[in-house]
């Protein structure tokens, strides 16, 4: 059962300049501190997936999602709290659907979580609601484009390169800095790119991505994932009619994991007396 901390938030952690007090730090206090980043409200997707709000925090581990490997690494590190961006049971909704609740594997994973002794908190909406979407900020930083930001939109950022790069050069740059073996592309990668649109996670659908070309003049759009019959088909038609424009689909995890790496660093600064570690997760999908 997921715990909705937005309905039972207790007394806020005592705040001091440069961080929070370390005496008997609890899961609830960590969650309250995170909520401040998103405007002092906990998002609908943000839930305590395992453990209790009063659990003492001996250490914090951060991962993109609660894979078996990430949970084991977190427990081995001595952490008592694992903070993840995506849920533990294969759905954006935190409470599993009926078809999953009756699956034997679902119960086995619940038992493994219980045996790990970890409290698991999903921090999703809060990070996207920061003044600057922290997940997007992490990707921008990982790509070395902090000084190239031209504009932040509610769901996207626009990058203005100081010198043009072809789409192929952008792909090479992205793969190298993110450590990726492959990405998926569509459109014309031969043309020079100066303005790049950036969308993390599941924001690659036509409603969000296509206006970056039409309204904001993007030459290329990088995103995590989205419906394949929307933006990819748009840039295919664009290329076949002699237009410019291309997309690079990184993958959901690949686009958002840098943001969780940045979250780790922010937590280290916020709780200097508590060990905070990052548990990288490999993409679930492989290309053969």
- Residue 3 confidence (pLDDT): 45
pLDDT classification of 158: cutoffs 50, 70, 90: very high
pLDDT classification of 16: cutoffs 50, 70, 90: very low
- Write down the residue that tokens 């954006």 correspond to: 92
* Residue 118 main-chain phi, psi, to 5 deg: -85, 140
pLDDT classification of 124: cutoffs 50, 70, 90: very high
pLDDT classification of 44: cutoffs 50, 70, 90: confident
pLDDT digits (tens, 9 = 90+) for 170-215: 999 999 999 999 999 999 999 999 999 999 999 999 999 999 999 9
pLDDT classification of 288: cutoffs 50, 70, 90: confident
CATH architecture, range 5-130: 3-Layer(aba) Sandwich (3.40)
Query: Which residues sit in the known binding site?
Result: 85, 252, 256
- Residue 103 confidence (pLDDT): 73
The average confidence (pLDDT) of the chain is 89
**Do the domains spanning 5-130 and 134-253 agree at the CATH topology level?**
yes
Quick check: 130 pLDDT over 90? no
Query: Which residues sit in the known binding site for a divalent metal cation?
Result: 85, 252, 256
- Residue 286 confidence (pLDDT): 86
pLDDT digits (tens, 9 = 90+) for 216-229: 999 999 999 999 99
- Residue 94 confidence (pLDDT): 61
3-state secondary structure the chain: CCECHHHCCCCCCCEECCEECCCCCEHHHHHHHHHHHCCCCCCCCCEEEECCCCCECCCEEEECCCCHHHHHHHHHCCCCEEEECCCCCCCCCCCCCHHHHCCHHHHHHHHHHHHHCCEEEECCHHHHCCCCCHHHHHHHHHCCCHHHEEEECCCCEEEEEEEEEEHHHHHHHHHHHHCCCCCEEEECCCCEEEEEEEECCCCCCHHHHHHHHHCCCCCEEEECCCCCCCHHHHHHHHHHCCCCCEEEECCHHHHHHHHHHHHHHHHHHHCCCCCEEECCCCCCCCCC
Quick check: 20 pLDDT over 90? no
**Residue ranges of the domains in the chain?**
5-130, 134-253
pLDDT classification of 36: cutoffs 50, 70, 90: confident
Instruction: Assign domain 134-253 to a CATH class.
Output: alpha beta
Higher-pLDDT residue of 262 and 243 is 262
- Residue 129 confidence (pLDDT): 87
């Amino acid at each position: 059962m997921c715990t909705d901390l937005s309905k039972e938030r207790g007394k806020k952690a005592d705040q001091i300049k440069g961080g929070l007090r370390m005496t008997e730090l609890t899961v609830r206090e960590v969650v309250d501190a995170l909520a401040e980043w998103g405007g002092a409200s906990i998002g609908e997707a943000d839930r305590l997936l395992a453990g209790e709000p009063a659990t003492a925090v001996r250490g914090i581990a951060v991962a993109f999602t609660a894979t078996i490997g990430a949970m084991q690494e977190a427990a081995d590190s001595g952490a008592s709290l694992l903070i993840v961006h995506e849920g533990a049971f294969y759905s954006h909704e935190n409470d599993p659907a009926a078809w999953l609740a009756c699956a034997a594997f679902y119960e086995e994973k619940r038992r493994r979580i219980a045996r790990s002794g970890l409290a698991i908190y999903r921090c999703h909406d809060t990070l996207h609601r920061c003044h600057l979407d922290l997940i997007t900020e992490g990707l921008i930083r990982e790509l070395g484009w902090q000084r190239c930001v031209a504009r932040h939109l509610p769901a996207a950022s626009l990058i203005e390169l100081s010198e043009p790069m072809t789409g192929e050069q952008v792909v090479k740059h992205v793969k190298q800095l993110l450590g990726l073996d492959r990405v998926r592309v569509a459109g014309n990668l031969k043309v020079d790119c100066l303005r790049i649109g950036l969308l993390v996670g599941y924001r690659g659908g036509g409603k969000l991505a296509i206006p970056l070309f039409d309204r904001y003049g993007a030459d290329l759009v990088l995103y995590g994932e989205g419906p394949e019959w929307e933006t990819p088909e748009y840039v295919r038609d664009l290329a076949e009619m002699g237009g410019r424009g291309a997309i690079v689909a990184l993958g959901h995890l690949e686009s958002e994991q840098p943001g969780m790496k940045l979250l780790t660093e922010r937590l280290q600064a916020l709780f200097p007396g508590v060990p905070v570690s990052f548990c990288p997760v490999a993409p679930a999908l492989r290309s053969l």
